[in-house]
Amino acid sequence: MKKIIYFLFAFALFSSCSPNKPDRYFSASPEIEVTKLTLKYYLDANWDAMKALYADTAKVLNNVPEAKGVSIDAAITEFRQEHELFASISYVKAEDFFEMVVTDEGETWVNYWGIWKGTLKATGEEFVIPLHITQRFINQKIVADHGYWNNSDIALALSKLESPTTP
């Protein structure tokens, strides 16, 4: 009888340790490498290489709801303007965190959390901004790119440049 109990216990233990569900969370994947390239190409202002990582129909939604998403071409125009305003732009590598998830619906998403740093050319003021980027992939191409960060300090600094206060 003891042998049967031990056998049933061992069977239950081993069968519970081998899940039949597919992996849904990854810390390394080709899609994560693509996300890393988007960050690198942004820093290098390599717009053609960046555009090649996106599907032709991709939507970029930086701090906007779905209805206000723009094409990768329009997003690159905004990125170019940022590069004109800042003397330097970087990410704090020690703060980078990447993950890939596969949703219940089978969608592949890569999430990035990090710190963006930029020095405004006009004033020399440095901005350090936490951000989150999440990108949806189909066939290793980005089809949706959502970015979230608080850029109110930059907006305030730029508004002061446009309308300086006079004593």
The pLDDT, as a whole number, for residue 66 is 85
Instruction: Tell how strand 141-149 and strand 54-62 pair up.
Output: parallel
Which segments of 26-162 does DSSP mark as H helices, in order?
Answer: 30-44, 47-51, 72-85, 152-162
Mapped onto helix, strand or coil, the DSSP state of residue 138 is: strand
Q: Is residue 6 part of a domain?
A: no
Report residue 164's pLDDT band, with 50, 70 and 90 as the boundaries: low
Contact indicator for 42, 147 with CB cutoff of 8 Å: no
Inside any domain, residue 12 = no
Please indicate, yes or no, if residue 104 is contained in any of the structural domains: yes
CA atoms within 13 A on the CB side of 80: 11
Beta carbons within 8 Å of 98's beta carbon, 6+ residues apart: 27, 32, 35, 36, 110, 111, 112
Q: Within a domain: residue 44?
A: yes
How many CB atoms are closer than 10 A to CB 41? Answer: 19
Given a contact cutoff of 8 angstroms between Cβ atoms, the answer to whether 137 and 109 are in contact is yes
> How many domains are there within the chain?
1
> What is the pLDDT averaged over residues 87-100?
97
65 in a structural domain: yes
The pLDDT value recorded for residue 90 is: 97
| pLDDT tens-place string over residues 130-150 | 999 999 999 999 999 999 999
Residue 61 counted as domain residue: yes
Report yes or no: 140 and 31 within 8 Å, Cβ to Cβ.
yes
| Residue 126 domain-assigned (yes or no) | yes
Q: What CATH number should be reported for the domain holding residue 50?
A: 3.10.450.50
- Within-domain flag for 7: no
Give the range of the structural domain holding residue 72, as residue numbers without chain letter: 23-162
- How many Cβ atoms from other residues are within 10 Å of residue 159's Cβ? 10
What's the pTM? 0.83
The single-letter DSSP state of residue 22 is: P
**pLDDT above 80: residue 19:** no
